[in-house]
């Protein structure tokens, strides 16, 4: 037993240390965006941040908790409508309305979870879609928010964000960046925690998970409510930027679920890096190919098919398989403490986290 | 000695196939019980019923004098029942260490450094420490079986269920496994062990039960049971009298 004293657990690898510093530098550089980026670039980056946040949340839901939802547009739209309702009817400042929309999204996801958690697999997926349609049809009934044709955010509310247009654009860019950082931080901290360990176990094997003391229902419920709330907050911000909301746009399965699934699948489902890589690739493809019209969508489909066939775990899954990279310091490495190194013969490989260990 | 586990008239059927038929027995604290029976006799089903991954249709399971029949699998593990799976069920993309850590944190409810030390200790005892950082999916069959044992121990069980953990091992691997299991017994853990490798079983257990078609057909001192007609009938197909 005293032997164990010579081992220690290392939660950071050199790669994750470098990644942490790089991420910090990148966040600061991006935060300075309004000083170096043009108006169009800032818009594009905002959209990229928001998609990255949505993809990270969907990945948590589907990739870790195994809840393959095709109805997350329910929460995007719900968040958007919450923001419009709260700012227009109750005079809540837009900035405040975003976290409130998040809380409302989390609350509404509780009864939804009780309802659809009775379904499994494909039935669950369809169930989530049905729920989203119910949300869409309900939103179309709110005549004060324009019913089926939607409504625009009144100019006074828009101006309350900031007085000048340039400032408003900077503010909206910062909000998008901030919400992405918040979402990634929450996902990262969650996955590094005990609960995250349980979630990762559920991702890999549900049968073994429950036999080792993990309450699967509760773990999934927690993730569903958390992602529901955060997705609603992201949705609120999306429609604060669009300044206009309609049921079809707010609850679009294409925009808020199909593209998001594409991003997560090509990036690498079940890895925290996957949605980040996927979002960047998605936007690169979109920006270079968007002029091709319908051909663009066909190319997207082709990319998805090729990646699913060639690298079923996505681009990051492929990279990880080859290099064992872990940029978010989620893993726990057993390392030998240097001072005792001479006492064991075959321990060289324990000190080097990146040694590929295959049989 | 009070019973740590009692099965009372446990029944389970998949359609017309009866996999547990009025199954009853008791296990004393600290006892090691061996279970034998032909393939498909319902041995693993019995473990599924005890651990709660499969629900019983009727009957009762008592653990430490408490009725646990309605408890979820997760809660039964937290109460102190852990198992190894016959077909290993590793968390493939997680490292060997993390696999055990799941059990230590979720099953045994350990925190922080205490959890880490528990896992390191178990990995040393089960001979997996050199593979601690390897993804579980990269392990060989022997490694996976050891991981099953290590993970079950990580949950700090008072009752350990081992499902054919010696199957497919070489003679020396088997001997070291027997030593490991004997060590575990020394710590006061009660054990139920399903095994086809009879000599391994006989080296450890105090008592043997024989199961066929979901029914307990014999129970008693291991060597006497092995020599009994009931066992010969099942394994050699000799019909005693028709």
Prediction ipTM score: 0.90
CA-wise closest residue to A306 among A315, A294, A297, A317: A315
DSSP-assigned letters across all residues of B20-51: EEEEEEEEETT-EEEEE--TTSSHHHHHHHHH
What is d(CA A52, CA B225) in angstroms, rounded to the nearest whole number? 64
Of A189-203, B125-139, B217-231, minimum mean pLDDT range: B217-231
| The pLDDT value given to residue B1 | 65
Give the pLDDT confidence score for residue B150 in this predicted structure.
Answer: 95
**Which of B77, B107, B133 has its CB closest to that of A334?**
B133
A88, A157 in Cβ contact below 8 A? Answer: yes
Structure tokens at B140: 């060989």
- Which chain A residues contact residue B127 at CB under 8 A? none
* pLDDT on residue A330: 85
Cα(B242)–Cα(B233) distance, rounded to whole angstroms? 12
Number of domains making up chain B = 1
pLDDT in tens, A120-141: 889 999 999 999 999 999 999 9
Q: Is A168 on the interface with B (CB under 8 A)?
A: no
* pLDDT number for residue A234: 97
C-alpha to C-alpha distances, A277 to A48, A69, A271, A327, nearest whole angstrom: 11, 21, 10, 12
Residue to substitute from B93, B146, B155, interface A, most A β-carbons within 10 A: B93
Q: How far apart are CA B201 and CA A327, in angstroms?
A: 46
Q: Output the pLDDT for position A351.
A: 42
CB atoms B105 and A194 under 8 Å: yes
Pair A236, A80: CB distance under 8 Å: yes
Report CB contact under 8 Å: A213, B107.
Answer: yes
| CATH code of residue B230 | 3.40.50.300
Contacts of A78 (CB under 8 A, 6+ apart): A101, A104, A105, A108, A135, A232, A235
- Supply φ then ψ for residue B18, to 5 degrees: -85, 120
Q: Are B30 and B190 in contact (CB under 8 A)?
A: yes
Q: Using CB atoms, pick whichever of B83, B103, B121 lies closest to residue A4.
A: B121
Residue of chain B minimizing CA distance to A358: B138
Q: What is the 3-state secondary structure (H, E, C) of A189-255?
A: HHHHCHHHHHHHHHHHCHHHHHHCCCCHHHHHHHHHHHHHHHHHHHHHHHHHHHCEECHHHHCCHHH
Question: What is the C-alpha to C-alpha distance for residues A129 and A150, in angstroms, rounded to an integer?
Answer: 21
Kindly report the average pLDDT of chain A as a whole number: 89
Query: From the CA atom positions of chain B, what is the Rg in Å?
Result: 18
Question: What's residue A344's pLDDT?
Answer: 46
Structural domain boundaries in chain A: 37-252
Q: What residues make up the domain containing B238?
A: 1-80+194-242
In whole angstroms, give the CA distance from residue A129 to residue A68.
Answer: 11
Residue numbers in B near A317 (CB within 8 A) = none
Q: Which of chain B's residues have a Cβ under 8 Å away from the Cβ of A354?
A: none
d(CA B185, CA B197): 19
Of A9, A332, A357, the CB nearest to B138: A357
The answer as to whether B148 is a domain residue is: no
Give the chain A residue nearest B101 (alpha carbons).
Answer: A197
In Å, how far is B237's CA from the nearest CA of chain A? Answer: 35
Neighbours of B166 (CB within 10 A): 22
Is the CB of B98 less than 8 angstroms away from the CB of A334? no
- pLDDT of A230 higher than 70: yes
Q: What is the mean pLDDT of residues A68-87?
A: 96
Asked if residue B98 is part of any domain, the answer here is: no
Taking CB atoms within 8 Å and a gap of at least 24, the contacts of A351-354 are A353/A10, A353/A13, A353/A324, A353/B133, A354/A13, A354/A15, A354/A323, A354/A324
CB within 8 Å: B74 and A216:
yes
Asked whether residue B5 is domain-assigned, the answer is: yes
What stretch of H or E contains B63?
A: strand B58-63
Does residue B21 form part of some domain?
Answer: yes
Give B201→chain A minimum CA distance, Å: 24
Name the token pair of B44: 């693993």
Quote the DSSP letter at residue B213.
T
Distance in angstroms (rounded) separating the CA atoms of residues B156 and B100 = 11
With contact defined as beta carbons under 8 Å apart, do A167 and A33 qualify? no
Q: Tell me: the pLDDT tens digits for A316-335?
A: 988 888 887 888 888 888 88
Q: How confident is the model at residue A352 (pLDDT cuts 50, 70, 90)?
A: very low
Q: Are A142 and A151 in contact (CB under 8 A)?
A: no
Determine the Cα–Cα distance for residues B133 and B150; give it in Å rounded to an integer: 14
pTM, whole model, 2 decimals? Answer: 0.88
The whole-number pLDDT of residue B87 equals 92
Task: Give the H or E element holding residue A285.
Answer: helix A274-289
Q: Which residue of A has its CA nearest to B154?
A: A212
Residue A356 has pLDDT above 70, yes or no: no
Whose CA is closest to A72, among A224, A271, A236? A224
Chain A to chain B Cβ contacts (< 8 Å): 127
- pLDDT at position B239: 55
Q: Which of B110, B148, B146, B116 is nearest to A332 (CA)?
A: B116
* CB nearest A7 (choices: B94, B120, B151): B120
pLDDT of residue A87: 95
Do B194 and B41 contact (CB within 8 A), yes or no?
no
CB < 8 Å to B123, chain A = 334
Residue pair B79/B63 in contact by the 8 Å Cβ criterion:
yes
Residue B13 CA to its chain's centroid (Å): 21
In chain B, residues with a C-beta closer than 8 Å to the C-beta of A3 are 124
CB contact under 8 A, B51 and A215: no
Q: Do B106 and A201 touch (CB under 8 A)?
A: yes
């Amino acid at each position: 037993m005293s032997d164990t004293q010579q081992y220690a657990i290392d939660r950071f690898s050199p790669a994750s240390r470098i990644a942490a510093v790089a991420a910090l530098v990148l966040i600061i550089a991006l935060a300075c965006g309004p000083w170096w980026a043009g108006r169009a670039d800032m818009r594009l980056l905002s959209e990229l941040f928001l998609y990255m946040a949505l993809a990270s949340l969907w990945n948590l839901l589907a990739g870790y908790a195994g809840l393959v939802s095709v109805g997350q547009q329910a929460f995007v739209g719900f968040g958007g409508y919450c923001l419009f309702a709260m700012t227009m009817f109750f005079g809540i400042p837009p900035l405040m309305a975003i976290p409130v929309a998040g809380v409302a999204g989390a609350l509404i996801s509780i009864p939804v979870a009780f309802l659809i958690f009775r379904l499994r697999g494909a039935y669950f997926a369809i169930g989530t879609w049905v729920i989203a349609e119910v949300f869409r049809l309900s939103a179309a009934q709110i005549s004060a928010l324009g019913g089926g044709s939607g409504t625009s955010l009144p100019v006074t509310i828009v101006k309350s964000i900031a007085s000048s247009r340039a400032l408003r654009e900077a503010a909206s860019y910062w909000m998008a960046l901030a919400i992405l950082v918040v979402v990634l931080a929450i996902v990262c901290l969650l996955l590094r925690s005990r609960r995250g360990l349980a979630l990762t176990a559920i991702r890999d094997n549900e049968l073994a998970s429950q036999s080792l003391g993990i309450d699967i229902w509760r773990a999934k419920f927690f993730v569903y409510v958390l992602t529901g709330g955060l997705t609603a907050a992201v949705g609120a911000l999306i429609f604060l930027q669009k300044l206009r909301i309609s049921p079809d746009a707010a609850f679009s399965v294409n925009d808020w679920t199909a593209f998001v699934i594409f991003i997560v699948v090509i990036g690498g489902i079940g890895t925290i890096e996957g949605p980040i890589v996927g979002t960047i690739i998605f936007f690169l493809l979109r920006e270079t190919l968007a002029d091709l019209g319908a051909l663009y969508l066909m190319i997207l489909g082709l990319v998805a098919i090729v990646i699913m066939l060639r690298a079923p775990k996505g681009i990051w899954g492929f990279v990880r398989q080859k290099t064992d990279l872990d940029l978010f310091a989620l893993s726990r490495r057993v390392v030998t403490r240097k001072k005792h190194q001479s006492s064991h013969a075959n321990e060289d490989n324990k000190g080097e986290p990146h040694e590929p260990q295959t049989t | 000695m009070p019973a740590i586990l009692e099965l009372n008239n446990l029944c389970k059927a998949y359609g017309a196939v009866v996999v547990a038929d009025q199954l009853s027995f008791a296990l004393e604290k600290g006892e090691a019980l061996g279970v034998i029976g032909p393939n498909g006799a319902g041995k693993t089903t019995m473990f599924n019923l005890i651990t709660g991954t499969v629900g019983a249709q009727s009957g009762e399971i008592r653990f430490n004098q408490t009725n646990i029949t309605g408890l979820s699998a997760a809660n039964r593990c937290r109460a102190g029942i852990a198992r190894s799976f016959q077909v290993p069920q590793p968390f493939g993309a997680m490292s060997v260490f993390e696999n055990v850590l799941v059990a230590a944190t979720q099953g045994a409810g350990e925190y922080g450094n205490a959890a880490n030390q528990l896992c390191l200790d178990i990995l040393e005892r089960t001979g997996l420490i050199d593979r601690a950082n390897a993804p579980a999916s990269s392990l060989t069959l022997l490694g996976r079986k050891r991981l099953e044992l290590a993970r079950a121990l990580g949950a700090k069980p008072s009752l350990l269920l081992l499902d054919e953990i010696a199957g497919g091992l070489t003679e020396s691997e088997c001997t070291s496994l027997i030593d490991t299991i004997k060590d575990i017994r020394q710590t006061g853990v009660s054990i139920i062990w399903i095994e086809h490798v009879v000599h391994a079983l006989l080296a450890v257990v105090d008592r043997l039960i024989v199961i066929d078609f979901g029914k307990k057909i014999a129970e008693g001192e291991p060597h006497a049971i092995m020599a009994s007609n009931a066992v010969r009938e099942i394994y050699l197909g000799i019909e005693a009298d028709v």
